[in-house]
Amino acid sequence: MSEQHRIQVHPIPAFKDNYIWALRSGSRVAIVDPGDARPVLDYLAREALELVAILATHHHADHVGGVADLKRGRDIPVYGPKNEPISTLTRPVASGDRVAIPEFGVAFEVLDIPGHTRAHIAYYGSKMVFCGDTLFACGCGRVFEGTPPQLHASLAKLAALPEDTLVYCGHEYTLANIRFARAVEPGNVALAGRERTDTTTREKNHPTLPTTIGLEKATNPFLRCAQPEVAQAAARRRGTDVTDPVEVFTAIREWKNTF
Ligand code: ZN
Ligand code: FE
C-alpha cells in the first residue's frame, strides 16, 4: 500500500458551520483553513498530533483567522494564495504550483478558482480536492471579489476533475443549498434522493461532507447550467429567455442571494 492511502481526513467543526480539515498520517497532521486556532489546538492535544503544515484556500477570516496562533512556536510552512492579503503565509502559491507534504508522501496540485475571492485556490491530489468557499455541497460560494463568469469558470474547472474525487468544502451549508436546488430543479430525481440522505445525515448531526464531483454534477444546479430545466428556472426568474450557461449561472446565483 502506498503512503498516500494512509491519509485520513477529519473535520474539525468551528464557528457556526465551518469545517477545518485535518489531514492525518500516523501522528502527523496538516490543517486546511484554520479560521480558529482553539478547536485545532484542542484537537492536536487530544489526539497527540504534530502539526506539519497549514494550507489556506482564501483570505477570509473564517479560514485563516487561526493561522497566527497555530504557527507560534512551530517552524511549519503556511501555504495560501499568492495574490491575496494573508500576512501569515510563508509559501504563497498559485495555479501550476505543487504543495508537497513530504511527511505524508503526497503532493497537491494548486488550482486557481477565483470568483468568491480574487485569487481563491484549491488543493487537488490523492483523489481529494479542498476547495474552500468556491464549490459547496449542492451549492457554491457567493461572488464577493470576482465576477459570476469567473466563478462559473472556476466551478467548471472543479467539475472537470474525476467523478470519484472527494470534495472537502469550507462550510456545512448542504441542506439549505438542497432547498434552493429543489426550487431550481424540482424534477431532478437524484436531487430528491440526496435530500433524503443528507437530511438523515444531519439529523444524526454528522457532516454531509465530503461530497464527490460525480454527485455534484448530478445534483448541484450551479454545475448544471446547461440543463434545460435549470435554464428554464433562470428564464422564469429573469422574465426573459436565458440559454447561455454563463447567463443561467449568473441568474441563479443572484436568485440564491435572496432565496
Ligand atoms: Zn469565504
Ligand atoms: Fe467561509
For 95-150, the pLDDT digits (tens) are 999 999 998 889 999 999 999 999 999 999 999 999 999 999 999 999 999 999 99
Q: Which domains does the chain have, with CATH numbers?
A: 3-257 (3.60.15.10)
Strand pairing category for 166-169 and 211-212: antiparallel
- What is the pLDDT confidence band of residue 6, given thresholds at 50, 70 and 90? confident
CA-only gyration radius of the chain, Å: 18
Rounded Cα distance between 111 and 58, Å, is: 12
Cα–Cα nearest to 151, from 178, 185, 115, 122: 115
**What is the whole-number distance in angstroms between the Cα of residue 189 and the centre of ligand 1?**
30
Which residues are known catalytic residues?
58, 60, 62-63, 116, 133, 171
- What is the pLDDT confidence band of residue 29, given thresholds at 50, 70 and 90? very high
Three-class secondary structure of residue 145 per DSSP: coil
Ligand at shortest distance from the CA of 171: 2
Class of residue 225 by CB neighbours under 10 A (exposed 0-12, middle 13-18, buried 19+) = buried
Mean pLDDT of 154-183: 98
| pLDDT above 70: residue 183 | yes
**What is the whole-number distance in angstroms between the Cα of residue 245 and the centre of ligand 2?**
26
**What is the whole-number distance in angstroms between the Cα of residue 57 and the centre of ligand 1?**
9
